[in-house]
């Protein structure tokens, strides 16, 4: 599995459709200050489900949409598409390529697609959970992250190992099930109250 391609349209400084192809091995992106190198990693993080605008170096989610220049009007939509090679069936889907798309409209409406099928943010997060690629993964090491990993408290460091060990998915499902159990127990209590009133 590897990231083959990033396609951006209307995302930050990439107003027109821009395609960055990655080959197997090392790829370097070079360019002058402010030319958009970090915007490419922001685009990747964004599709992986990043919701924290600060991590995306903005103040509000709308800031990821091309906001115009002296010579060009702002746009109403940002779209980023990531294409992963899946010939090794790394992702449990029967496709040789996996494409994940995220779109946001200036109205605030968001859309997600996995292999062209509309889905929820939760589905995107689950697809990447425990792969090391996801939002909390270690596939993107930003400036300062190494220090953070070395100096963070042990609970935060533990999260990194849990992601590598592939157990985050189960922990998150356990939490969801516990929430449902709690809600069911509360409903049962309410039913018992009603029953005792009727009796």
Question: By CB under 6 A, is residue 18 in contact with ligand ATP?
Answer: no
Question: By CB under 6 A, is residue 46 in contact with ligand ATP?
Answer: no
* CB of 25 or CB of 32, closer to ligand ATP: 32
Question: By CB under 6 A, is residue 38 in contact with ligand ATP?
Answer: yes
**Separation CA 174–CA 159 (nearest Å):** 16
Minimum distance from residue 39 beta carbon to ligand ATP (Å): 4
Which of 2, 19, 27, 35 is in the footprint of ligand ATP by CB under 6 A?
Answer: 35
Q: Classify the phi-psi angles of 128: left when phi > 0, otherwise alpha if psi is within -120 to 50, otherwise beta.
A: alpha
* CB of 33 or CB of 153, closer to ligand ATP: 33
Minimum distance from residue 73 beta carbon to ligand ATP (Å): 11
DSSP H stretches of helix in the chain: 37-47, 121-128, 145-151, 154-165, 168-198
**Separation CA 28–CA 41 (nearest Å):** 12
- For ligand ATP, what does the binding mask look like between residues 64 and 103, x meaning CB under 6 A? -xxx------------------------------------
**Separation CA 112–CA 2 (nearest Å):** 20
* CB of 10 or CB of 127, closer to ligand ATP: 10
Question: By CB under 6 A, is residue 13 in contact with ligand ATP?
Answer: yes
166 marked as part of a ligand binding site: no
Question: By CB under 6 A, is residue 12 in contact with ligand ATP?
Answer: yes
Question: By CB under 6 A, is residue 139 in contact with ligand ATP?
Answer: no
3-37 in b/e form (b: 16+ CB < 10 A) is bbebbbbbbbebbeebebeeeeeeeeeeeeeeebe
Radius of gyration of the chain (CA): 21
Question: By CB under 6 A, is residue 115 in contact with ligand ATP?
Answer: no
Which residue bears the tokens 């605008």?
53
Which is it for the CA torsion 45, 46, 50, 53, positive or negative? positive
Provide the annotated binding site: 32-39
Interaction site with ligand ATP (CB under 6 A): 12-13, 31, 33-39, 63, 65-67
């Amino acid at each position: 599995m590897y990231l083959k391609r990033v396609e951006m349209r209307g995302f930050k400084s990439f107003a027109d459709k821009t395609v960055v192809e990655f080959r197997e091995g090392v790829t370097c992106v070079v360019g002058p200050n402010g030319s958009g190198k970090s915007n490419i990693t922001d685009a990747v993080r964004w599709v992986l489900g990043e919701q924290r605008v600060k991590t995306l170096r903005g103040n509000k989610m709308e800031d990821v949409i091309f906001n115009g220049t002296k010579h060009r009007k702002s746009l109403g939509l940002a779209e980023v598409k990531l294409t992963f090679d899946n010939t090794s069936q790394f992702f449990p889907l029967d496709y040789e390529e996996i494409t994940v798309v995220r779109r946001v409209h200036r109205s605030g409406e968001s859309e997600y697609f996995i292999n062209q099928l509309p889905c929820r943010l939760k589905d995107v997060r689950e697809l990447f959970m425990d792969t090391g690629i996801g939002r909390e993964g270690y596939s993107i090491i930003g400036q300062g992250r190494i220090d953070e990993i070395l100096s963070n408290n042990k609970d935060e460091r533990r999260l990194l190992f849990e992601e590598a060990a592939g157990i985050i998915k189960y922990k998150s499902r356990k939490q969801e099930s516990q929430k449902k159990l709690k809600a069911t127990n509360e409903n049962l209590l309410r039913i018992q109250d009603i029953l005792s009133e009727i009796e």
